[in-house]
Amino acid sequence: MTPEQEDLILSLVTYPGRDPEGTPEQVLRHFNAKDGHTLGLDLLRDALHQRGSVAVEMALIVGFTFGITSDYLEELVELCSADWHHKHEDVVSAIGKLHTSDAVDALYQATQWVPGYLEFDDSRALATKAVWALGKTPGPEAQQALVRLLTSGDEIVRSAAMEQIARRKE
């Protein structure tokens, strides 16, 4: 991915107090793509193949802009435990939007692992996002994963699991 392409994709991002500078149509035109969904998935596959940390970020921006669907699941699950990028929270958030029991194991593992670049994070944002995603995932697999988290040695994870179990009962 060229710096020009990165700049174009970053122009889609909304910042507080400022509208995006670019448009989805500009991105599609630049990449000569008819479908943003397919473009995002292709970029994500390329990022995985190249193990490109910045490329993962760019692919996720395109994916979130045009919509992440179950077509992305295999790549997102692989990225969930990959130690060569820094977008794990975004990956977990994307998986969480899919509400699929096929991602329960990946989400559970995200509650157990702290990537090196997140070791400073005492709030355990990655684990918490994974617990929330499990809470929104229907089915017994997600419920069982939440119950397992009640025995976690981490108070933040335990508490988040309790909240999600209670929310699921409502």
Mean pLDDT across 127-153: 97
Mapping DSSP to helix (H, G, I), strand (E, B) and coil, where does residue 13 land? coil
Phi/psi-derived region of residue 99, left when phi > 0, alpha when psi is between -120 and 50, beta in every other case? left
Contact, 66 vs 37, CB < 8 A? yes
Q: Is residue 155 classed exposed, middle or buried when 0-12, 13-18 and 19+ CB atoms within 10 A define those classes?
A: exposed
Mean pLDDT across 103-113: 97
CA angle, corner 6, sides to 84 and 68, nearest 5? 70
* Residue linked to tokens 């684990």: 127
DSSP state of 115: -
User: Mind listing the pLDDT tens digit for each residue in 143-167?
Assistant: 999 999 999 999 999 999 999 999 9
Nearest one of 71, 78, 143, 136 to 110, comparing CA atoms = 78
- In order of 42, 59, 60, 91, the CA distances from 45 in angstroms are 5, 9, 11, 14
pLDDT at 79: 97
Residue type, 38: T
On the question of pLDDT at 121 being above 90, the answer is no
Contact, 80 vs 91, CB < 8 A? yes
What is the model's pTM? 0.93
User: Mind listing the pLDDT tens digit for each residue in 28-39?
Assistant: 999 999 999 999
pLDDT at 35: 95
pLDDT-above-90 percentage for the chain: 89
Mapping DSSP to helix (H, G, I), strand (E, B) and coil, where does residue 15 land? strand
On the question of pLDDT at 6 being above 90, the answer is yes
Contact, 38 vs 68, CB < 8 A? no
Mapping DSSP to helix (H, G, I), strand (E, B) and coil, where does residue 18 land? strand
